[in-house]
Amino acid sequence: MDYARLGTDLKDLRRRNAALGLAVAGLSFALIVALLAILKIAGTERTVIVPPTIDKSFWVTHERASRDYLNQMASYVAYLILDVDPAVIDWKKDTLLNWVAPGEHAALRTRLELEADRLKRINAATFFRPQQLVADEARQAVTVRGRLRTLVNGQETSSEVKAYLVEFDYAGGRAQLKSFKEIAHEPHAPGATAAAAAAAR
């Protein structure tokens, strides 16, 4: 028996076993790190979405959206509610109702239908141009300030700066309109940021 060769082979096997042991240990460590990373980000993932009529993406989580997303959605809602005439108010109403929270759907539908009937009866139109958007991420709400022009039979009857509070809720990973109401206008409200839309002349 060649003891020298046997000893060499035994040492070689031990070296290979040691290398395999280190490889297994390294893979186990990497697996544990990956598992911890997955557990850490679980429930906090962000979904990138594009709201209607908007060409810029924003992040949302399962419970809130970014400031920019809220601003764009509030502008869209204001456009659907305030920028209307007898020819478009019906389809804008139906479009808006697709974004309304279920608990507010019936009440807002009634309100919009009454407004549509009034607008058609007096042949009126309103045009809204946002001037300032102030988003509150904690409340998921936006204050929209802008100029609202009203025309009756093609003649302008008023042109006023108005302010509206737009509140959103989340269900199924998308924004839903919770409320839209006029509030007192503060000409020099602190923290206001200029909207992309220009002020109406």
**What domains lie within the chain, and their CATH numbers?**
67-194 (3.10.450.230)
pLDDT in tens, 104-145: 999 999 999 999 999 999 999 999 999 999 999 889 999 999
Q: Report residue 95's pLDDT band, with 50, 70 and 90 as the boundaries.
A: very high
Neighbour count for residue 52 (Cβ, 10 Å): 11
Mean pLDDT along residues 183-187: 77
Please give the model's pTM, rounded to 2 decimal places: 0.64
Per-residue buried b or exposed e for 141-155, using 16+ beta carbons within 10 Å of the residue's own CB: bbbbbbbbbebeeee
Tokens of 61: 């989580």
Q: Cα separation of 160 and 7, whole Å?
A: 98
pLDDT in tens, 137-164: 889 999 999 999 999 999 999 999 999 9
Residue 197: its pLDDT value, please? 39
- Which residues have a Cβ under 8 Å from the Cβ of 143 and sit 6 or more positions away? 132, 133, 134, 136, 163, 164, 165, 166, 183, 189
Q: How far is CA 25 from the centre of its chain?
A: 44
Tokens of 134: 């102030």
